Structure formats: structure tokens, C-alpha cells
Amino acid sequence: MMKRLHIAFCTAVLVMLGTMGQGQVMAQDLESPTTDLVLFFSNIDQPPVETPAPDTLIVTERSGPVTVTTEISSGEVSGNIETDRSLPGATLILTVKLLSLTEFTISGVITFDDAQNSTIKFESVGNGFFEEAPSIINGIPFLRGAYMARITEATGQFAGMVGVVTDNLWLDVSRPGLNNAIGFEVVTIRMAPSGF
């Protein structure tokens, strides 16, 4: 009986949240296990940054509008709610420490364009990697890479959240030197309240 009541309650919550207007649900308004953000960043319009050391890159990138997905899961009932967050964009600053031609560690901070200047800081878990040779896409050499990181601090509307960051990136390496590369990356952030 309790299981049926629990499922009925979760179903009611999902139905209620599903009927709310797009763009009206914020992460802090939802009692949910996880909040996922998906951001697309590029440094195509950003001026190059001088590197502090031969093996270190500082990269500044901008994102467009942010997509948020909230997953609610309990027993046999689960659901996803996707809404347009009222964030016009975000800035990502990465510090990349090159360990070899194909491996690196990374730390970063994402600052959102919201009223609270919310931030998410993170550091890589293990090493990130680049592929050994570029892939040619529409005649342009792109170096692909990826890393996983843990959130070390979150502020503003994300205060108290913990979680992981995964990043798949493509670097246009048609100009010599990684510091001259044009980067495109899809960053996925999965967060939950601390202690959840």
C-alpha cells in the first residue's frame, strides 16, 4: 500500500511539474535528485590570452543560452523535465596543464550571466586526453579531446551543490600552436545538493 501511495505521489509531482510553463522552473525550486546543465562554449570571439608557462594554457570561452534538465527518480517512477533557463549565457575560464602531447589536467570556473553571478568551479579527475592526430572535418583539422572533473565550489543559485563536469571538445588546429586553436566544447554538468 505504501509503495502505491509513494508512486502515486511521485506521479502527481511529475504531472504538476509537467504542467508548469516553459522557463518558469528554476533548479532551486525543484525537490529533485539531480540538475543537469548542458552548455556549448567557444572561444571564436574571444581574444587570445598569454600563457603563463610553456606547458600551461589559459582559455576564455563564451556560451549561448543554457539548457537545464531535471531528473526525478523514485523506485519505478522517473521522469525528465527540460526547460529554458533564464540565463543568457556564461563565461568559462580554463587553466590547462599539458602533461604530454595527448594528456592534460584542467581546472576551471564557469560564471553565469544571472543576477547572482553564480559560479561553478571544478578540477579534473585523472587526466584529460587529446587524440594523437587531428580529424579532418570539412577540410579543417580538428583535434578532439575530453575530460571529467569534479565540482569543488558552487555559488549563487547553485550554492551547496556538488557534482561532476564532463567536457567533449574540438580544437580547430589549422593555425600553429594550441594557444591559437579555436575551441568548441559541449560541457555537461550534473549536480545534486550536498549530502543528497
For 12-24, what is each residue's pLDDT tens digit? 333 323 333 333 3
The reported pTM is 0.72
pLDDT surpasses 90 at 106: yes
Task: Calculate the average pLDDT of the chain.
Answer: 76
Domain-wise residue ranges, the chain: 2-193
**Any residues with CB less than 8 A from the CB of 78 and at least 6 apart, and which?**
71, 72
Q: How confident is the model at residue 124 (pLDDT cuts 50, 70, 90)?
A: very high
Q: Give the range among 7-16, 133-142, 157-166 with minimum mean pLDDT.
A: 7-16
pLDDT surpasses 80 at 166: yes
* Contact criterion met (CB below 8 Å) for 62 and 45: yes
pLDDT surpasses 90 at 144: yes
What's the pLDDT at 16? 29
For 74-95, what is each residue's pLDDT tens digit? 556 555 555 544 556 899 999 9
Q: How far, CA to CA in Å, does 127 sit from each of 84, 102, 107, 141, 145?
A: 33, 10, 11, 23, 11
